[in-house]
Amino acid sequence: MHLLLLRLYFIALVSFGVIPLHTLAQSTPESVIQEELQPIEDKPLAPSSVAQVDIPNDLWERIRRGFGMPDLQVELVQDREQWYAQRPDYIHRMTERSSKYLFHIVEELERRGMPTELALLPFIESAFNPQAVSSAKASGMWQFMPRTGKDFDLKQNAFRDDRRDVLASTRAALDYLQKLHGMFGDWHLALAAYNWGEGNIKRSLNRNQQQGASLAYTDLRMPAETRLYVPKLQAMKNVVANPQALGVNLPSIPNHPYFQSVPLPKDMDVALIARLAEVPLEDFKALNPSAHRPVLLAGGTSQILLPWDNAEIFQRNIDTYAGRLASWTVWVAPQNMKVSDAAKRHSMAEEEFRNINKIPPRMVIKAGSALLVPRSAKQQSDVSAKVADNGQLNLTPETSLRKQTIKARKNESMQSLAKRYKVNVEQLAQWNNLSASSALRPGQRLTIMVPAKSKKNKATASSSQRKKAHQ
């Protein structure tokens, strides 16, 4: 190449008369001229030094490649392997449920540089059921307890429970597992703490340390459930690693996203969202399990999950939809109320009101509670973000009431009288057919309703009086 450039340089000099042509001929060897005139041969390109990316088609293979935890080799692992191997229907059901969520979990684990075995943990926690609720009130596919959920910013209010939310609960679970691993420096201990609590693991480690015993997971004292917890995960890891060796038929899961996030533009009925997205209602609820009410409030739920191909369908349909988006809104109770009174105020049957707001029998609604009620045709505004994101349903046990007559003092108002007897001023006005601003005369008799003493309380009071009489 450098010879060609030299040749072109000399030709240019000749063209401008700088060098005579005969001089160029004399100064350029024939061999050079012949070499320059040789035709360029097509030569094969050298192999690229860039490594070809081998992307697995199957998600199980991707998980296998990311295994990063030391294997646990104890008898309980073999026991759990056989348990799974003998239940092909159970494996199939779990895999079917997991196929909606696994890709997202694996993506998050890889992004954080965490072992991909952890993607299998919901198999152990909930069989990948985002609606699962334990007897101890743990909820969701990652089984967060209410307090732990709050510690990791999982909202739990009258309208949604983020412990069931696919994105939020996965984020919180991986945050928690990273924290535990940083605390104990060992994945087996971290998993045991996830199941039993970090405080319990710390105490068990301290006890072994004081006794000069091993601090390994296998040598700690712990409940049977926690003792079996890590072997269960190891057994599931072994099933995924080599299903043929255990005689397990592991259904394939494609290595591509199942869902995508779509903004929720307005308050919308859950059934309508599913219809506009052309998704079966149960499938929509499986992707949005925190939607345990018939309406989603945009002020608290900014996005929804839809199957990948249905997201565009939803957007296209909602752009042309001219009907009503939400049949429900939120009403905040101004005072303590009976359920029947609250239902009557909104022209609802008491049973329907109880069912829609999940109110058990023999309970009273406390002031400030946020409740779903029918949305009027004239109402256009959505529920405020403050209520949608923080609304709570607070109930108190229903108590029997009895009438008590009281007298107003000099210069006493309805407000001061209500405060003296610790009742709501609106209730006091209602009991006496007055308004909250009514003027009172000194000595005026009014009626208040106070809790009736139970037979047990009466018996206790009588016993106490007898004891005092004998002292």
How does pLDDT run across 192-207, given as a tens digit for each residue? 999 999 999 999 999 9
Quote the CA–CA distance of 86 and 10 in Å, as a whole number: 85
How far are the Cα atoms of 114, 304, 322 from residue 263, in angstroms, in the given order? 29, 6, 18
pLDDT at res. 49: 47
Which residue intervals of the chain bear CATH 1.10.530.10?
Answer: 69-246
User: H helices within 137-223, ranges in order?
Assistant: 146-151, 166-184, 187-196, 198-210
Which helix (H) or strand (E) segment is 364 a member of?
A: strand 363-365
Quote the CA–CA distance of 153 and 149 in Å, as a whole number: 6
For the CA atoms of 130, 132, 133, 135, the dihedral, rounded to the nearest 10 degrees, stands at: -150
pLDDT at res. 200: 97
Which helix (H) or strand (E) segment is 450 a member of?
A: strand 445-451
pLDDT at res. 422: 85
pLDDT tens-digit profile, the chain (471 residues): 444 444 444 444 444 444 444 444 444 444 443 444 444 444 454 444 445 568 899 999 999 999 999 999 999 999 999 999 999 999 999 999 999 999 999 999 999 999 999 999 999 999 999 999 998 899 999 999 999 999 999 999 999 999 999 999 999 999 999 999 999 999 999 999 999 999 999 999 999 999 999 999 999 999 999 999 999 999 999 999 999 999 999 999 999 999 999 999 999 999 999 999 999 999 999 999 988 899 999 999 999 999 999 999 999 999 999 999 999 999 999 999 999 999 999 999 999 999 999 999 889 999 999 999 999 988 889 999 999 999 999 999 887 778 899 999 999 999 999 888 888 888 888 889 888 888 999 999 999 988 776 554 444 444 444 444 444
pLDDT at res. 52: 56
Both tokens of 390, joined, read: 């923080």
| 3-state secondary structure string across 114-154 | CCHHHHHHHHHHHCCCCCCECCCCCECCCCECHHHHHHCCC
Which residue intervals of the chain bear CATH 3.10.350.10?
Answer: 401-470
Can you tell me which residue has the tokens 């047990």?
Answer: 456
Long-range CB contact pairs, 82-85, < 8 A, 24+? 83/235, 84/235, 84/236, 84/239, 84/246, 84/248, 85/239, 85/246, 85/247, 85/248
CATH number of 69-246: 1.10.530.10
pLDDT at res. 53: 64
Going through 18-89 in order, the beta strands assigned E by DSSP cover none
CATH number of 401-470: 3.10.350.10
pTM: 0.76
pLDDT at res. 8: 44
Residues with a known catalytic role: 125
Long-range CB contact pairs, 215-219, < 8 A, 24+? 216/188, 217/72, 217/186, 217/188, 217/189, 217/192, 218/72, 218/74, 218/188
